[in-house]
Amino acid sequence: MNGEVRQWVRTARHIVLLSGAGMSAESGVPTFRDTQTGLWANFRPEQLATEAAYRSDPAMVWDWYQVRRDSIAKVQPNPGHRAVAAFQRRHPGRLTVVTQNVDGLHQRAGSPGVLALHGNIAEDRWLDAPRACCDASRLRDGRPPACSACGNLRRPAVVWFGEMLPAAELEAAEAAAQTCDLMLVVGTSGVVYPAAGLARATAGRVVVINPEPSALDDAGDAVLRGTAATMLPELLAG
């Protein structure tokens, strides 16, 4: 089966790689709940990753995200991330990365144009619509930083519970899914929508790569039991 999938990769004109948390597991990226220790043991992530929580206690939520940022900053892209980026360098324009991960490891590995559906934890944006005075290069220090003129807060540039996915990224991902002739679904449980729906919306072949069963196995033309770091260097070697 691996040989057949490698042939699909070689002949595909446009490939979409849809990655989930399993893509980064071998890098040692802490999961959403791994930071719920120590001070944070009494909180559920769903209590903290919301706009309401941030407006209620911005310092507490900012500090929680800083713990996650510090943890992610210590890890590196794994061979799976690097294999994807290397394939893109060898074959410009042939592979589009769509990720549910906020860790930025695809980008750090060198993948261009990553469609990060849930944002990037290393980046910030304004909590409220920025005014003319809001300049990210001139901030009032704090936890969190804020506009020195109007007090508009900075916030992690991730999608919180109850928020819509970024429209431009989702539209681009849907267009890529609908036009690709091969989709590699890597390390995702397949239960989070609308991202999981991309695998069911494509007219191309679907290959599911996951060491464990997922909710998208039934959509796969091939299901490969393995991890991103072991399978992708082999499949994308050409």
Active site residues: 118
Phi-psi region of 94 (alpha: psi -120 to 50; beta: other; left: phi over 0): alpha
DSSP label at 59? H
And the tokens for 57?
Answer: 């206690």
Amino acid residing at 87 = F
Q: Is 110 left (phi over 0), alpha (psi -120 to 50) or beta?
A: left
Contact criterion met (CB below 8 Å) for 23 and 186: yes
CA dist., res. 80 & res. 159, Å (int): 25
Q: How far apart are CA 47 and CA 206, in angstroms?
A: 35
- 57: CB partners within 8 A, 6+ apart: none
How far is residue 98's CA from residue 236's CA, in Å, rounded to a whole number?
A: 16
- Residues 129, 132, 137, 142: what is their CA dihedral angle, to the nearest 10 degrees? -60
Task: Compute the CA torsion angle 82, 84, 87, 92 (nearest 10 deg).
Answer: -120
